């Protein structure tokens, strides 16, 4: 007796049966897009236990290469040129930013399917079904990232939110569809009909082709922008930039450019309102600037201009408060905060201090003394 597409009840055939191998990788990947009922039925078949989890892992690795290769190369370079621990932290940051939501969805989806399976709960089968349900999120993210890279787009936040909503709704439908095979005692799935498998195989190949395009775009971007990836170190010329000041209410004010500061010792302090070590450093930075009027300190806020301006007004800091544009912090290799860069009068980087450190005050005072002796 059949029950759904390609599903029959009863004992599955022994190993080596005519359909024991099941569809290959491209077809299984494509089925999640073109015929999710078949994909879920195959995932519920215990002859293929763990296969959908392996497929998801492979797709995650491919997508990381297609969307995060630049960041991972930067992490390796940072660990090699500066400090292995910093490189590892940056790599973890890149992976967490790319995968945390997707892995969180996977866990929640597996729990939902397991709880909804009733008396026939099987944690392994629930996880396999959740892996299929998570595929749309990865595929939509991959395609959107490749399009953004290919056409050098800067999509508005609303577009990103809407796209994420579509992918999660799609995945939610797959979770609902997975409840039927999850409640069955034994599921045996013959191979999909050739026409269905052919369409699915082409869909899977299209996804991998998009990933290959993403990898190529990442490699081209790395080759063309090596200077933007190489860690900032002592002796490098400080990259020029112009950033807006943060005025009342968080509005952008007059821009401040680094080249206009030539002839002064400059400290760039990258910080955020949620960063406690950053906030603890700020009074000493302000005191340092007050004690040395010839010193320019630019406090570059990374998160909330309005909150930053409110903090400045509340505490009476006299440091120049600027809003980051995302590109400046990237160019200066900001992977952790606080992140401070000391620049001499000639525009050369004299120190890069990652994390809160008493080294900053002594470095600045020593540099000011050197400039006076000159």
Structure confidence by residue, pLDDT tens digits, 309-355: 999 999 999 899 999 988 899 888 888 899 999 999 999 999 999 87
For the chain, where are the alpha helices, taking DSSP H only?
A: 25-34, 36-44, 51-67, 69-81, 84-115, 123-151, 157-182, 194-224, 226-229, 276-291, 305-315, 327-331, 359-373
Q: Is the pLDDT of residue 16 over 50?
A: no
State the average pLDDT over residues 50-74: 95
Q: What pLDDT score was predicted for residue 231?
A: 84
Query: Are 207 and 39 contacting, i.e. CB atoms less than 8 angstroms apart?
Result: no
Model's pTM, two decimal places?
0.78
Q: What pLDDT score was predicted for residue 261?
A: 92
Q: Is the pLDDT of residue 20 over 80?
A: no
Closest CA to 214 of 54, 93, 61: 61
The domains found in the chain, sorted by start residue, are 25-229 (no CATH), 242-373 (3.40.30.10)
Q: What pLDDT score was predicted for residue 279?
A: 94
Tokens describing residue 230: 């190489």
Instruction: Scan for tokens 């490189």, then name that residue.
Output: 87
Q: Output the CA torsion sign for 135, 137, 140, 143.
A: negative
Calculate the average pLDDT of the chain: 89
Q: What pLDDT score was predicted for residue 128?
A: 96
Q: Is the pLDDT of residue 1 over 80?
A: no
Q: Is the pLDDT of residue 363 over 90?
A: no
Q: How many CB atoms lie within 10 A of CB 335?
A: 22
Q: Do you know the residue count of the chain?
A: 374
Q: What pLDDT score was predicted for residue 271?
A: 95
């Amino acid at each position: 007796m059949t029950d759904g597409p390609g599903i029959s009840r009863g004992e599955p055939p022994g190993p080596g049966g005519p359909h024991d191998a099941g569809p290959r990788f491209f077809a299984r990947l494509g089925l999640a897009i073109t015929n999710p009922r078949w994909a879920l039925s195959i995932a519920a078949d215990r002859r293929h236990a763990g296969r959908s989890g392996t497929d998801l892992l492979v797709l995650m690795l491919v997508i990381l290469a297609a969307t995060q290769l630049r960041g991972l190369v930067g992490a390796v370079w940072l660990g090699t040129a500066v400090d292995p621990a910093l490189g590892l932290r940056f790599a973890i940051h890149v992976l967490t930013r790319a995968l945390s939501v997707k892995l969180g969805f996977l866990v929640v989806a597996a729990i939902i399917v397991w709880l909804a399976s009733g008396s026939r709960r099987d944690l392994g089968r629930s996880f396999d079904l959740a892996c299929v349900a998570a595929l749309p999120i990865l595929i939509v993210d991959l395609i959107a990232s490749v399009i953004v890279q290919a056409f050098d787009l800067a999509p508005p936040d609303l577009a990103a939110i809407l796209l994420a909503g579509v992918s999660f709704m799609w995945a939610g439908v797959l979770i609902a569809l997975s409840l039927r095979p999850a409640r069955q005692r034994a599921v045996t799935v013959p191979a999909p009909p050739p026409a269905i498998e052919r369409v699915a195989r082409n869909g899977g190949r299209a996804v991998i082709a998009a990933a290959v395009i993403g990898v190529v775009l990442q490699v081209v971007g790395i080759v063309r922008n090596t200077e933007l990836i190489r860690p900032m170190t002592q002796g490098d010329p400080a990259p020029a930039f112009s950033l807006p000041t943060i005025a009342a209410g968080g509005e952008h004010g007059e821009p401040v450019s680094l080249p206009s500061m030539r002839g002064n010792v400059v400290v760039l302090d990258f910080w955020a309102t949620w960063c406690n070590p950053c906030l603890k450093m700020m009074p000493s930075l302000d005191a340092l600037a007050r004690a040395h009027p010839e010193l320019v300190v630019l406090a570059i806020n990374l998160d909330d201009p309005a909150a930053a301006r409110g903090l400045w007004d509340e505490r009476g800091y006299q440091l120049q408060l600027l809003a980051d544009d995302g590109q400046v912090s990237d160019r200066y290799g900001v992977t952790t905060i606080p992140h401070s860069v000391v620049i001499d009068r000639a525009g050369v980087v004299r120190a890069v201090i990652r994390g809160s450190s008493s080294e900053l005050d002594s470095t600045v005072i020593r540099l000011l003394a050197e400039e006076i002796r000159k």
